[in-house]
Amino acid sequence: MTLLQDVESSQLRKDLPKFSVGDTVRVFSRIKEGEKERVQYFEGIVIGFHRNGIATTFKVRKESYGVGVERTYPIHSPLLEKIEVKKRGDVRRAKLFYLREVSGKKARIREKKDWLSKKGVVVPSVGAPEGPAEEPPAVSPGETPQE
C-alpha cells in the first residue's frame, strides 16, 4: 500500500450496503441547522457513480412534484447516516442520464429478477445489512420461473 492510499484508507467507509446503478435507495444524511442536527432522507434512483477512490460519489434522482431533483453524495462522507436499498433495478448502462429526458412509462426501470433464491439456492445478499425490504415481490412457492 502506498502512503497516499494509507491516508485515504482510514477515511473509507465499509459499513454501507452495496448498491448499483438503477437501484432505488433511501439516503439518510445528517444536516446541521444552526445548533440542531437532524437526519434527512432522500429517496430516488441511483443514476450513476463517479468512481475515484475516496472521492467516489453517486447521483440520486427523483421526481418531486413534477420537478426532477438530483443530489450527489460522496459515498465515504461521514455525514451519511445510512443507506437503505429499496429496490434493485435491472439496467443495461452505467449512467442513467437518459432519465432526465423521459417521463412516465419510459422512465420505469425493470426490477432485477432474483432467479437463484426462488430456486432455493442461498446466495449471500449483496446488500448485507438489509432486511426483507429489498427482496423482490414474494412468489408463491410452487411457481416455476418463467423464461
Instruction: Please name the residues in contact with 117: beta carbons below 8 A apart, sequence gap of 6 or more.
Output: 123, 135
Which residues lie across from 64 on neighbouring strands?
A: 67
Q: Does 79 bind other proteins (CB under 8 A)?
A: yes
Instruction: Give residues 12-41 in contact with other proteins (rule: CB under 8 A).
Output: 30, 32
Q: Which of 71, 72, 33 is nearest to 55 (CA)?
A: 72
Among the residue ranges 1-9, 17-25, 88-96, 134-142, the one whose residues contact other proteins (CB under 8 A): 1-9
Question: Using CB under 8 A, which of the segments 3-11, 60-68, 82-90, 125-133 binds other proteins?
Answer: 3-11
Instruction: Tell which one of 50, 51, 53, 95 touches other proteins (CB under 8 A).
Output: 53
* CA-based nearest residue to 76, from 29, 115, 133: 29
State the number of binding residues for other proteins (CB under 8 A). Answer: 17
